[in-house]
Amino acid sequence: MAQPSTNQEIDPFYVMEVVAAAQEREQSGEAVFHLEVGQPSTGAPKGAIEVAHRLLDEQTLGYTTSRGIPEFAPALAKHIGQQYDLDVDPGRIAITQGASGAFVLALLAAFKPGARVAVTAPGYPCYRNMLTALHMEPVALNVDASTRFQPTVELLEAAGPLDGVIVASPSNPTGTVLSSSEMTKLVAWCDEHHVRFISDEIYHGLTYGESNSVTATSLSDNAIVINSFSKYFSMTGWRIGWTVLPDELTTRFDRLAQNLVICPTALSQHVAIAALECRDELDQHVERYTNNRQILLDGLPAAGMTDLAPADGAFYIWARTDHLAADSKLLAAEWLRTLGVAATPGIDFHPTEGHKYMRFSFCGSPETMRGAVDALTKWRLRQLAS
Ligand SMILES: Cc1ncc(COP(=O)(O)O)c(C=O)c1O
In the prediction, which pLDDT does 6 show? Answer: 65
Q: Could you read off the pLDDT of 166-214 as tens digits, one per residue? A: 999 999 999 999 999 999 999 999 999 999 999 999 999 999 987 678 9
Q: Write down the pTM of the prediction.
A: 0.95
Per CATH, is 46-278 categorized as 3.40.640.10? Answer: yes
Distance 99 CA to ligand 1 centre (A): 6
Distance 100 CA to ligand 1 centre (A): 6
Distance 329 CA to ligand 1 centre (A): 22
Cα separation, 175 vs 171, whole angstroms: 5
Same fold, 15-44+280-385 and 46-278: yes
Q: Which of 36, 95, 100, 104 for a ligand 1 pocket mutation test, highest count of atoms within 8 Å of Cβ?
A: 100
Q: Which of 19, 150, 230 for a ligand 1 pocket mutation test, highest count of atoms within 8 Å of Cβ?
A: 230
Distance 277 CA to ligand 1 centre (A): 22
Q: Is the pLDDT of residue 3 over 80?
A: no
Q: Which CATH number fits domain 15-44+280-385: 3.90.420.10, 3.20.20.10, 3.40.50.300, 3.40.640.10?
A: 3.40.640.10
Q: Is the pLDDT of residue 274 over 90?
A: yes
Cα separation, 143 vs 304, whole angstroms: 24
CB 345 within 8 A of CB 332: yes
- The residues spanned by each domain of the chain are 15-44+280-385, 46-278
CA 227 to chain centre: 9
4 band by pLDDT with thresholds 50, 70 and 90? low
- The set of protein residues with a Cβ atom below 6 angstroms from ligand 1 is 38, 98-100, 124, 168, 172, 200, 202, 228, 230, 236, 241
Distance 124 CA to ligand 1 centre (A): 8
Q: Go through 99-132 and write b for each residue having 16 or more CB atoms within 10 A of its CB, e for each that does not.
A: bbbbbbbbbbbbbeeebbbbbbbbbbbbbbbbbb
Distance 69 CA to ligand 1 centre (A): 23
